[in-house]
Amino acid sequence: VHPVSVLWASPGKGTSHPPLCPPGIKCGGVLSAPSGNFSSPNFPGLYPYETECTWLIVVAEGSSVLLSFSHFELEYHDACAYDYLQVYNGAARDRGNLLGTFCGHRPPPPFSSAWHVMAVVFRSDRHVAKHGFAAAYRKDACGGQLTGLSGEITSPRYPESYPNDAECRWSIGGAGSGGPLTLVFADFQMEGGQGCGFDYVALFDGPTVTAPRLGRYCGSARPPRTISSTPHLLIIFKSDFNIGGRGFKAHFYSAGECQEVFTTIKGNFSSPQYPNFYPNNLKCQWSIQLPPGYRVKVFFLDMELEGRSSLTGDCDYDHLSAFDGGTENGSLLGRWCGRESLAPATSRSNRLLLVLHTDRNTAKRGFSISYVGVVPMNVSCTRTDFHIQIPVQSLAQLERNRIYLGTPSCAAQVVGRSFKIHTRFDTCGTESQRRNNTSVIVSTLYIDFSVGDQEDIHQYEVQCEPKRKEASVTLIAGPDPSRLSQAENLVDAQQREGEAMDTREIKSQDTSDIVFISICILAGLLMVIAVVGLVLL
């Protein structure tokens, strides 16, 4: 739920003075009745100075709360820093639950909670008092103003039959992202009929019924995925005097921060509001879809989510999941939470889906991620040569000289439908190394995606074990290095340092071997000379 500040102008400072807040003044408390009213202290008189009140509205679990204001008059400030009222979608003081901060004269809009708890906090400072506010709430709200980046709506009593003669209006928007909204129906069963003249759900591309209608649905067929062209969407549910059904359940997402599709070879994204706290009650999806043959490698630049459950040790609360294949039905590549330094994750196909779930409380900073497409290639080797082959269609936008092994002079050739590099181990910047007590030949393949002054060179390490004629390739540089964390840079530096030491040891070992062989040959020659001398004598 995205925090918003609504600011309304008010007249100049008043001349009347309210009483100081007496010790032990009663305000706030737990409101557990199905409906009720509450107001600022002394309402409709002036509220006291230096007062803070919290009302926690708790209705039956499975229900929701509709909150509305009939009167509202607080001291005005352009950032609501003096007297203010805050509305929380759940427990107070959890920034991820904050629906809005309000001051000034005009009442806040009606709010519908995402679950059975809502909190309202009122605070006044030591200067300037107004008449305060009056509010009313009720449970099992049908409709309301939804301002979250994502959320869920259901027909009344879902999944049981909805009531007759019902009319509900959900106005979605005002989350601050400014992007279009996506609505997806997970379940749908209503009374049918030609023209949907009895029970129906109607969708409008804006905040009111005067906006263009996006569709009107009834029966048992799920409506198609709907995307608005504005940051607002109006949903109207209506039933007549008889014949009902199970109703519907739908999810909405705000595109931009919470629902994105990436098709470029590399990119980056972050959780909503990063590096500030993400909202609660989110389900956000980032889908990476690359050309066939590519794989997706994801780098976790920063991550801080709510930690693991102390009971199960698992990521039961806020968590980020990665699925291979582009849907939540695909193989789970990982599920992460807390504050961890994570190794990169790589898909097994050309599609990867990342899903962020946040629950009703305890928000954190979130995450920042970069990804890069791993270019499809076939790398093989003999005892003396590297063979590299890349489909031209995978790098159709590149000239062959943008693909080279070791140095630009070892550029790829176009043979049929492939870029090919065929080179001996003693050329193109190859070098001998010893890894895991095995001699290997290593070089670097460069693929240059740079445009203009913006450098973008992907690097792959190609490796061959000549004795076994086994080759491998690994992406070693893809995302913009400036976005990598200092810790990752330090690890990379340590790895490079270790590899350099390995190389020096290999060179030293190679030199020692040469000296040893030379001594052996010299000793053999001396023995032959001595034997010949003895024979002659």
- pLDDT tens-digit map of 468-523: 999 999 888 655 444 443 333 323 333 343 344 333 333 333 444 444 455 556 66
- The set of residues, in sequence order, having a beta carbon less than 8 Å from that of 461 and lying 6+ positions away, is 442, 443, 444, 445, 473, 474, 476
Q: Residue 533: what pLDDT?
A: 63
pTM: 0.60
Instruction: Please provide the distance, in angstroms rounded to a whole number, between the alpha carbons at the two ends of the chain.
Output: 104
Residue 486 included in any domain: no
Q: State the CATH number of the domain containing residue 192.
A: 2.60.120.290
What residues make up the domain containing 110? 28-140
SS3 state at 50:
coil
Same domain, 226 and 313: no
- Asked, for residue 330, whether it belongs to a domain, the answer is yes
Task: Report yes or no on 274 lying in a domain.
Answer: yes
User: Is the pLDDT reported for residue 303 higher than 90?
Assistant: yes
Looking at the structure, tell me whether residues 32 and 134 fall in a common domain.
yes
Residue of 240, 265, 273, 199 lying closest to 478 (CA atoms): 265
Whether 470 maps to a domain, the answer reads yes
Q: Give pLDDT, residue 269.
A: 92
Q: 169 has which bridge partners? A: 143, 236
- Any idea what DSSP says for residue 222? P
Residue 514 falls within a domain, yes or no?
no
Q: Which residue has the tokens 């999941």?
A: 321
In a domain, 492, yes or no: no
The answer to whether residues 135 and 32 belong to one domain is yes
Q: How far is CA 376 from CA 263, 360, 396, 479, 480, in A?
A: 16, 42, 13, 17, 20
* Count of structural domains, the chain: 4
Round to whole Å and give the CA distance between 57 and 45.
24
Q: Residue 208's pLDDT band (boundaries 50, 70, 90)?
A: very high
Residue 451 pLDDT > 80, yes or no?
Answer: yes
Three-state SS sequence of 292-323: CCCEEEEEEEEEECCCCCCCCCCCCCCEEEEE
